Amino acid sequence: LSDRGTVMFVVQREDLRGKVRPSAFHDPKFAEACRQAASVGVRFRALLVSCSLAGLTVEREVAVDLAEYDLRPIAGWVAENRDATGWIRSASQRRVANGPFPHEVAKPRRRSKDCFPMALKEQAEQEICFDLC
């Protein structure tokens, strides 16, 4: 028996034509952690699945690419399409899923727990759901 671990990516995009890779643009720490894990023997595999009301069907295995790559083309595409991609949160009306990502923005200063804005306290007491993004 092998004592090596395996990471399995499940891809739910039937239009995939190439390899999959951890996105160093969206989450550089995760991409680097994947490369480090692979360097000590962790295996990486990916399955392409199709989705239906009956469940998931494995269509094929897909190659995983852990190599470092040039982020500039992706950064350009994201900047060019930022206003037209992602989705809009219902409560805040903020577009999400296309950045800015944590590594693109400065970390906010910590606020004390007593510094919760009064309007939000009143909403929370009324059990209204809201986004804090």
Q: What is the pLDDT along the chain (133 residues), one digit of tens a residue?
A: 457 899 999 999 888 889 999 999 888 999 999 999 999 999 999 999 999 999 999 999 999 999 999 999 988 888 888 777 766 666 777 766 656 666 666 666 665 555 444 444 444 443 433 333 3
For the full predicted model, state whether its pTM sits above 0.85: no
SS3 at position 101: coil
Q: How far apart are CA 31 and CA 90, in angstroms?
A: 31
Q: How far apart are CA 94 and CA 87, in angstroms?
A: 8
Q: Minimal CA–CA distance to 49: which of 40, 58, 38? A: 58
